[in-house]
Amino acid sequence: MHRFVYKSLLTCLLLGSSQSLAAPPPPVYRQEVVVAGSPFQGVHGMAVDGKGHLLASNLLGQSVHSIDLSTGAVSTLVGPPLGGADDVTLGPDGSIYWTGFFSGRLMKRTPDGKTRAIAKDLPGLNSLAFRHDGRLYITQLGRGADRLLEADPSGRKPPRQILSGHGFLNGFEFGPDDKLYGPLLMKGQIARIDVDTGSLEIVAQGFTMPVAVNFDSSRENLYVVDSARGELVRVRVATGDKEVVAKLPTGLDNLAIGPNDQVYVSNMVDNDIHVVNPADGSIRPVVEARLSVPSGLAVAPDDADEQLYVADVYAFRRVGGRDGKISQTTRALSTRMTFPMNVSLGAKHVVLSSAYLASVQVLDRATGDILRTIPNTNGVQGALELPDGTLLVAEATTGRLVKVDAAEPAGITVLAEGLKGPVGLVTDTEAAEPGVYVTEVRSGQVTRVRLSDGARRTVAKGLKAPEGIARHPDGGLIVAEVGRKQLVRIDPATGRSTTLASGLRIGLPESEGLPPGYIPTGVAVGRSGTIYLSSDIESALYRFVPAP
């Protein structure tokens, strides 16, 4: 009897061992670059330091950079999470000051490298400039605010309001008369403001979206960038006369006047900086890029060319998955498109969602026309269209999965709640009980939600900050596990996780004022089994090609 038990046990162990040995090894992938990266994630405000360098602010990348004007080399002065800057300037003592649009913090870095917040709780903090007597002024623009304030450079006194409701005063500068000159973005005007009395008068008008101004060395000419038109305009302050100096791509964000009155212009849509010679209008690049902030990705399952749809935050682009060629771009600011952070494809439509500007948009897939814009202030992340036209939206801030009716006006129904930071969505509509897989960045789970009644089932757990998710042609789930900087395959039946690639350049720190998932890391899988991945850290696109 003992001998029989021993032989049976031995047989089971041997069978188990042989089955284990027979299990297929994890697939092998070759990592390749689709689109090379950039030092920025959308470049914004700038300042010339007088030492041959240009300071540049990087809001979504949470960094302040220094650019060597002789070589174009970019270095990081302040990195994440403290460097989330919408605008940057130099103080009289050599300190660097910058504004946190999402964090609501006014930051200061002293010449000895000490960094701290000198004002807090200022949502929409945007532009800043020093007056010639050393007084510092800041604006709040958007996120429920439209104010001009005076701030204490030492941080000892709270900011003091000068004006409110003036029309979104953006990148401004003080003139030789100690008055503030700046664009009223919502009114298409350039204003002159006496900060001592609060009086405001219009210097020039007729712009579409003026976003920043700077004086040249004569202090008589004011240069203006019009973002929607892509124009650098010279305004004669005494008369208000305007002259277009250079025509650039739309999406301009800021400017700075350098040596010999050369004008440095940033473009957040193209994530680059150019310098314009106002004497002849010639333009040359300083820092170039091909993408701005690639996040959500999608590819049509029947597309043999595997063309990628890329939510690039400041643009929506179509990129060749095989050759990296950008074939089509829809630009923010110059169109009605809001800043897309996620993208999904339906049979006839493209669905974009943006936590940045709190909306979901439905586009005609063939023409790119915007058909619907649905406001949602609950930290929208993944959004997709079901076969009946209903939209399914992940609200990362509330932890809900909601249905938006296809009819107008939109009717919203809560399908599931209690999710921990839902970010990525992918459907499973061909199953007997159709559902959707959801990544939960806070709980580290992949959850399946049944579409008929919202019933939930945990598919996988123990992940660290899962974000992007896609279906592989073999039925597996491909997930960007951002917290471990790796790409994993999950068997939806067993929950078993297999690492496909590790050591990836993904996962910027979360930012104050943005929902869980921040800039989502996108994943898409082509019909060939090639996996595509966006890198928020590098502003790049990669592909993982299965080995033969």
Residue 100, classed as helix, strand or coil, is coil
CATH number at residue 183: 2.120.10.30
Residue 92 domain-assigned (yes or no): yes
In the chain, how many domains are there? 2
**What is the predicted pLDDT for the residue at 22?**
42
Same domain? 311 vs 210? no
Same domain? 418 vs 471? yes
Residue 29 domain-assigned (yes or no): no
Same domain? 107 vs 226? yes
**What is the predicted pLDDT for the residue at 515?**
87
Same domain? 97 vs 217? yes
Same domain? 271 vs 200? yes
Residue 12 domain-assigned (yes or no): no
Same domain? 164 vs 65? yes
In contact, 441 and 421? CB cutoff 8 Å = yes
Same domain? 195 vs 303? no
Same domain? 451 vs 335? yes
Residue 2 domain-assigned (yes or no): no
Residue 8 domain-assigned (yes or no): no
**What is the predicted pLDDT for the residue at 203?**
97
Number of DSSP helices (H) and strands (E) in the chain, helices first: 1, 48
Domain boundary among 242, 267, 287: 287
Domain boundary among 235, 253, 287: 287
Same domain? 139 vs 259? yes
Sheet holding 391-395, edge to edge: 380-385, 391-395, 400-404, 412-416
* pLDDT tens digits for range 459-480: 999 999 999 999 999 999 999 9
Residue 415's identity, in one-letter code, is: L
Residue 518 domain-assigned (yes or no): yes
Neighbours of 433 (CB within 10 A): 11
Domain boundary among 231, 257, 287: 287
Residue 336 domain-assigned (yes or no): yes
Which residue range forms the structural domain that includes residue 401? 291-546
* pLDDT tens digits for range 7-49: 333 333 333 333 334 445 667 899 999 999 999 999 999 999 9
Same domain? 278 vs 299? no
Q: Give pTM, 2 decimals.
A: 0.92
Same domain? 273 vs 299? no
In contact, 344 and 298? CB cutoff 8 Å = yes
- Using 50 as the pLDDT threshold, list the residues of the chain that sit under it: 1-23
Same domain? 183 vs 214? yes
